[in-house]
Structure 1
Amino acid sequence: MKWTGLNELREKFLEFFESKGCLRLPSFSLVPKDDNSLLLINSGMAPMKKYFTGEVTPPRKRVTTCQKCIRTPDIERVGITARHGTFFEMLGNFSFGDYFKHEATAWAWEFFTKVLEMPPEKLYVSIYEDDDEAFDIWTKEVGVDPSHMVRLGKEDNFWEHGSGPCGPCSEIYFDRGDEKGCGRPDCHVGCECDRFVEVWNLVFTQFESDGKGNYTPLEHPNIDTGMGLERLACVMQGVDNLFLVDTIQNIMKHISQITGVEYGRDEKSDVSLRVITDHIRSTTFMIGDGVLPSNEGKGYVLRRLLRRAARHGRLLGYNEPFLYKVCDTVIKENLTAYPELKEKQEFITKVIKVEEESFAKTIDQGFKMLNGIMDNEDVNVLSGEDAFKLNDTYGFPIDLTKEILSEKGIKVDVERFRELMKEQKKRSRDARKNAGADAWISDTTDLSDVANTEFVGYTDLKSTSKVLAIVKDGVRVDSIGEGENAIIVLNKTPFYGEGGGQVGDTGVMESGSFSADVDNTTKNPSGTIYLHACTVKSGSINVGAEVSTAVDEERRADITRNHTAAHLLQSALREVLGNHVQQAGQLVSDDYFRFDFTHFEALTAKELIEVQDLVNKKILEAIPVTTQEMPIEEAKKLGAMALFGEKYGDVVRVVSAGDFSVEFCGGTHVKNTANLGLFRIRQEGSVAAGVRRIEALTGMGVLKYINGMSAVIMDVCSLLKIANPKAVVEGVQKAEQIIKEQQREINELNSKLAVAQIGQLFAGTTEEHGVRVVTGKVDKVNADILRTMCEKARDFAPKCVCVLATENDGKVTFAAACGKEALALGANAGKIVKAVAQKVGGNGGGKPDMAMAGAKQPEKIEEALDSVKETVYAMLK
């Protein structure tokens, strides 16, 4: 058995199954497409589920892939053991109703024993205990020694997840020898020791389960095999774990070179090296597939991995951002299989560096807070409030906080943390659900017998079509009548179905007395059937009827202008800001369009004007806009930009505005840039870390915007009594100056009045335990005046502890101050004001001699002030 590198193993596998008639598909994106059941792709078959269910027709009945995968349930274990990892590649060969057990077993054995030259005596095969067919095939046809066959139960060798396709499986194990075993005489396949390693799992999907223990044979059984590439490499390279595999070891060596820490010298530092190595592989590939750091979903997983890796860098004694440097090695080691990483290298590096730098700004303060908690022997549970502060202020993901504190046996009040996060977000988590066709069709609606829709809307805005299906309330019906809402499926349509960020078309559908408004147009998950969400105005319609359709031409024209403008905007942004700019999402409607793009800081006024002027310049140049379909490789040679993280077929549609903008796109566009008329940026802002958003207008939308702004300016001129609009800025500045002067005078008067009240506050107070405690509620003053009053009281009486409160618009502000002699006796303004504020649902703190706090329960102010003496006396020496 010859030592073989990981990249060579991948190629050998794919070439072998190509020779068996399998179509080699590139790895699907780590981001699931049209599958809300997964956060990230976690197995080789996951992106092909719809091929197995028959919902989508596969490009060929025989397929082979090497699929990128991310699994996150064991993140906390990564590094602590050498077995766990979050990123891995899964080799697979699949049959969608084509070859079955005979071929799958024979080819697996051939690949192992002939291609990789594994000794047959080192291989063992497990089967489901009742699968006699598999036993006979393995022993009588393939030639496996019966003594190397193992029967295992349903838990080990039967693939099943609730109801649906399922079946027995066979697993191939490699015997690593006695020296890797546990030493027990009965050590065999299935033992928990490290001797027998499961390398390949062949799943024979031959039954349909109803989820209640009843199994019906499938008419066309399938094959689904999966083999971890890294695990196979461990066997072929004779190493104990994935971190010693050649390509992964090269990544770790780069980390060791940067940090000056060698692997294998110390178990504690080995843990950190493994964490960083695994996480930088995961994050490089995730960003390459379009995932960006955020506080939820896929972005949260990415942020958690990056920040966990950054923390382990510090545990190695390296306090500077460095992960972005290591991603270069990740890309280099995976270049042969994933050349797209090289194309996106600059962007991937930038995202990682920005996230590292962002975390580095607050990490020391966060660790200071955490260390203080861990050093306090009385703390065994971190409050939800403190966990929230670590997340919100210092950027510590809750899982990282939990992991760090668990090392000291401290738990976290996660439930309270979640409540605070919900309060902060205050936004619907069901925003993805649109109010169009999705509201009227169910995921279980069966349209498998309905022919694909022919889209004619690129050239025609009207058509005569046949009704193929009607869906009302998620159920197929034969007809609908006046006043009803339903989905109508046609054999052909001029209506653009929502996709690529472009909204769906609206219009009308008619036939005799039947008339319906088309309120929206979407597509089924595979994008092959167009779903027209209709409201029937009059008459009725049956399946099989002929209808005349017409798109709302004016609305389509507005949408089309905005879509072409989005293309021009992306090119302009890349020219002004740099080639790191990539589309990160868009919405193209008739009113306006928004364009999300990768960039790491707000655009300056100069940059916005430069981008806007460049787009308008291209509009004035009247550049013809062309669309053509071509092989994807030819499109790439033209420099066509693809949507970040998106996968395309062999033939793509390319939209070009001369050499300025060339993009893959299935949307509708104008014939000439001059058709846009005008372009105007309405707004620019942040969407997430490293992602900006521009909202913009074209055509009449720009004129409406300018007219609206002009009306506002004229109203301001009228209020300021200015005749010339050009003088409006000067007029506002003068008004602002007058207001500032008046506010200054008001503050001075309030301050004098407040100081005059100090004597009244002291009246009736006495000195106890060596200090004089002064409290009171002051009406209608701001925080600065309240602070001034406390400072005056402190300076007036060295033995004084003064705590004052005020309320403004339902918000409570506390100020506390301690004189020099009171400080010497142990009084502390920061601790006092925090304790008082917590009684009113707030928090705060500050220095021992002066501190401030805020709260939200004004009705409890008196109660809180009454507690001050008790708090003060408790801390005196």
Structure 2
Amino acid sequence: MQHRAAASIRKSFLRYFEQHGHTLVPSSSLVPSSDPTLLFTNAGMVQFKQVFLGHETRDYTRATSSQRCVRAGGKHNDLDQVGFTARHHTSFDMLGNFSFGDYFKEEAIFHALNVLTKEFDLPIDRLHVTVLDNDVEAIEWLVYTQWRKIAQLPDDKIHRLGPDDNFWAMGDTGPCGPCSEIFFDQGEAFSNYDDRYLELWNLVFMQHNRLGDGSLLPLPTPCVDTGMGLERMASVMQGVISNYHSDVFTPHLHAVAAALDVQNGHVSSRFQDAVADELRLNRFGTDVDIQIVRVLADHLRTAYALMEDGVFPSNVGRGYVLRRILRRAMRFAQQAGVSQPFLSRIPMFGEGERKGVVQLQAVVDNEERAFYAMLAQGTKAVDKLLHHPHTKSYLTGHDAFFLYETYGLSIDMTESIAASFQATVDTAGFDAVRQRHQEAIAATSSPLGL
């Protein structure tokens, strides 16, 4: 297995499918067009949703793409795990191939096997696959037999799992179907990280359309939707312990660490040493310093990508999620001793010139200035709620919503400030109060609510 840079992996993947009759389709915006059910583009198939449903046709029946994705809100939300695990990110690149009524399960498996074992030279004896096994379909026999026929995998490397693991849907409604996931055995050295068997590729066989009541209708024609995380494949091809150790992230880690080491006018090598040790030893550490660097690298990468696609910080919808991402980065920066606007000075543009770099940095700077002003006011307000007229050890949902409405404190910020007073927050109560508030606004703004 040869060392491959992420850019080379992407190029080889797309070239293979182009050579096999697939049209190369550019990555779509992170803001889904004409799809109110999604906050962000969270998978490669999003731009093809109407094709899967039979509502739209293209001048091709096979496609391949490298799609930028964000998973920081809605059904797929990895925000709170970022920085603490080797694989979770708020954004990533998904490599995929798609068939719209052209080929189906057998050819999808054939192509996946060819790419992994011939293009990327992965040893076939280190591959494991999963197939759907549930009460309705008993076993996805076609998939099961094809993996034995084409890949000649023994039974102990074909794992039967239920629909929680092997039935994929992009959301609560829309195209869905059984899937077959491909895992790579990274070896005994990875056992201590609960990451020995790493999922590389998901082959989804789109057969159904899930309606709002949960019922499944057959799609007009069966389709194929596959997704491979570029960052994961890069970590495998580069023989490293995590996505953060791959060349996708290492430039960002170095940039963040260098900036942290000169923040507040104090020059040191604390964070650069933490990154250097992490990469040199090929370990996934749990030290606070390296977690801070990971969070800042991931969150700023995502924030700039969202702003490039027209999403800017606000208190509603996509803008609210972006604001939460930036403020989570700010809270982690605080743990590093940062007490003033700082994030906009971290260079995150190594992948090429971004559009309007200076303007985007100004947005981040303004968010930070507002954050520190809000933090000072919010801390005083939390102190008052917890200690006046009498002392208590928690904030109610109504308290948290008051802080959100009055000071702009997100629930994450409220929890963080409350924790500094050894207090907790009723987050479920906050969600309920906020939901009732939104429903009341919707009712009063609708003719039916007058």
The 8 Å contact of residues 52 and 219 in structure 2, kept in 1 or not, is answered as no
> 1:320 maps to what in 2?
340
Residue 229 of structure 1 pairs with residue 243 of structure 2 = no
Look up the match of 2:265.
Answer: none
Q: 2: CA distance between counterparts of 1:257 and 1:297?
A: 33
Which structure carries more helix by proportion?
2
Q: Which has the higher strand share?
A: 1
Verify the 8 A CA contact 2:87 2:232 in the aligned structure 1: no
Give the superposition deviation at 1:256.
Answer: 0.7
**Letter aligned with residue 301 of structure 2:** R
Match of 1:99 among 100, 103, 117: 103
The partner residue of 1:157 within 151, 161, 166 is 166
Aligned partner of 1:246 in structure 2 is: 247
Which residue of 1 is the match for residue 411 of structure 2?
Answer: 398
Return the match for 1:304 from 316, 324, 327. Answer: 324
Q: Are 2:147 and 1:148 equivalent residues in the alignment?
A: no
**Rounded Cα–Cα distance in structure 1 between residues aligned with 2:252 and 2:204:** 33
Select which of 302, 305, 312 maps to 1:285.
305
Deviations 1:91-139 (A, max 9, x none): 1110011122222111111111111111111111222231222233222
Instruction: Tell me if the contact between 2:259 and 2:345 (Cα under 8 Å) persists in the aligned partners.
Output: no
Distance apart, 1:220 and its partner CA:
3.0
Residues 114-513 of structure 1: matches in 2 within 5 Å? 114-129=118-133, 130-159=139-168, 166-181=176-191, 193-206=194-207, 220-260=221-261, 261=271, 262-263=274-275, 264=278, 267-326=287-346, 328-329=347-348, 331-333=349-351, 335=352, 342-367=354-379, 370=382, 378-383=391-396, 387-388=400-401, 390-392=403-405, 394-405=407-418, 408=422, 410-412=424-426, 415=429, 428=442
In the alignment, is residue 24 of structure 1 matched against residue 24 of structure 2? yes
CA contact 1:77–1:84 (8 Å) conserved in 2: yes
Partner letter of residue 425 of structure 2?
A: K
For the aligned residue pairs, the C-alpha RMSD in angstroms reads 3.5
- Letter matched to residue 361 of structure 2: T
Q: 1:374 and 1:325, CA in 2 relative to 1: closer, same or farther beyond 3 A?
A: farther
Match of 2:248, SS state, is: helix
Does the C-alpha gap of structure 1 residues 88 and 420 become closer, same or farther in structure 2, counting only changes over 3 Å? closer
Q: Which amino acid aligns with 2:182?
A: I
Normalised to the residue count of structure 2, the TM-score between the two structures is 0.81
Q: Answer yes or no: is the 8 Å Cα contact 2:396–2:425 preserved in 1.
A: no
Q: Using the alignment, how far apart are the partners of 1:217 and 1:297 within structure 2?
A: 32
Give, in angstroms, the shift of residue 142 of structure 1: 3.9
Letter in 2 for 1:252: L
* Equivalent-residue separation in structure 2 for 1:205 and 1:417 (angstroms): 34
Amino acid paired to 1:181: S
C-alpha distance in structure 1 between counterparts of 2:216 and 2:378, whole Å = 55
Q: Shift in Å at residue 372 of structure 1?
A: 7.7
User: Does the aligned pair in 1 maintain the 2:209–2:218 contact within 8 Å?
Assistant: yes
Residues 618-653 of structure 1: per-residue CA shift (max 9 Å, x gap): xxxxxxxxxxxxxxxxxxxxxxxxxxxxxxxxxxxx
- How far has the Cα of 1:370 moved from its partner? 4.9
CA distance in 1, matches of 2:158, 2:4: 27
What is the identity, as a one-letter code, of the residue corresponding to 1:30?
L
The 1-side partners of 2:430 and 2:157 are apart by 54
- Please say if residues 176 and 209 of structure 2, whose CA atoms lie closer than 8 Å, have aligned partners that are also in contact: yes
Q: How far apart are 1:246 and its partner, in Å?
A: 1.6
Corresponding position of 2:94: 90
Partner residue in 1 for 2:57: 57
Secondary structure at the aligned position of 1:281 is classed as helix
Q: Contact (CA 8 Å) 1:200, 1:225: kept in 2 or not? A: yes
Question: For the Cα contact (< 8 Å) 2:397–2:425, is it kept in 1?
Answer: no
Tell me, in whole angstroms, the C-alpha distance in 2 between the residues paired with 1:213 and 1:364: 46
Sort the Cα spacing of 1:347 and 1:434 in 2 relative to 1 into closer, same or farther, 3 A.
Answer: farther
TM-superposed deviation, 1:302: 0.7
Equivalent position amino acid for 1:351 in 2? V
Write out per-residue CA displacement over residues 268-309 of structure 1, whole angstroms, 9 at most, x where no aligned residue. Answer: 222222221221111111101100111111110011111111
Q: Percent identity?
A: 37
Counterpart code for 1:151: R
Q: Could you say which structure has the greater relative contact order, defined with CA pairs below 8 angstroms and 6 or more residues apart?
A: 2
Cα displacement string for residues 649-695 of structure 1 (whole angstroms, at most 9, x for unaligned residues)? xxxxxxxxxxxxxxxxxxxxxxxxxxxxxxxxxxxxxxxxxxxxxxx
Q: Distance in 1 between matches of 2:409 and 2:148?
A: 55
Change (3 A) 1:109 1:424: closer
Check 1:300–1:218 CA distance in 2 against 1; reply closer, same or farther (3 A cut): closer
Does the CA contact (< 8 Å) of 1:126 and 1:152 recur in 2?
A: yes
Q: What is the CA-CA distance between 1:388 and the residue it aligns to?
A: 4.8
Superposed CA offset, 1:793-849 (max 9, x none): xxxxxxxxxxxxxxxxxxxxxxxxxxxxxxxxxxxxxxxxxxxxxxxxxxxxxxxxx
1:414-460 CA distances to partner (integer Å, 9 max, x unpaired)?
A: 647975898799854797x999xxxxxxxxxxxxxxxxxxxxxxxxx
1:247 counterpart SS class: coil
Number of aligned residue pairs: give it: 417
Structure 1 SS opposite 2:51:
helix
Cα 1:317–1:168 change in 2 (3 A) is: same
Contact kept, 8 Å, 1:382 with 1:413, in 2: the verdict is no
CA contact (8 A) 2:54 2:220 kept: no
